[in-house]
Amino acid sequence: MARSRELKFRAVTSLQRHVVNPLARRSKSQILLETTGRTSGLPRRTPVGGRRVGQEFWLVSEYGDKSQYIRNIRADPRVRVRIEGRWYDGTAHPLPEDDARARLRTLPRYNSTVVRAVGTNLLTVRVDLKS
């Protein structure tokens, strides 16, 4: 079971890194999460799905602490989120105590379906947005 999970993780993240993410980053309608690389210090932009609720942006990471952007958030929680073409500064908070599967039901359906299908270690993240 652990071996098949690891193979799934490697296959999906490779496809995302080399095909899906580069294409998605070009789309003006795609939500992007910008973190600071924990080693390089450079901005790292990751396409994500989620929903803004007031001054908060909610998302669920499919691989939790194995996701590079979660590792970056843990090193520096200051992030930026591009929503509908506009950038917002914010502070990200991984919430392991939140029910990520229940949270997915409140987020856009397409992304939530993909996260549920490929995810192996779901983790909710709340970003407190600054005006």
Percent of the chain with pLDDT over 90: 67
Average pLDDT over residues 61-82: 96
Kindly indicate the confidence band of residue 80, based on its pLDDT and cuts at 50, 70 and 90: very high
Average pLDDT over residues 94-112: 94
pLDDT at 87 (0 to 100): 97
Q: Which residues pair with 43 in a beta bridge?
A: 36
Average pLDDT over residues 66-70: 95
Buried b (16+ CB within 10 A) or exposed e, 57-81: bbbbbbbbeebebbebbeeebebbb
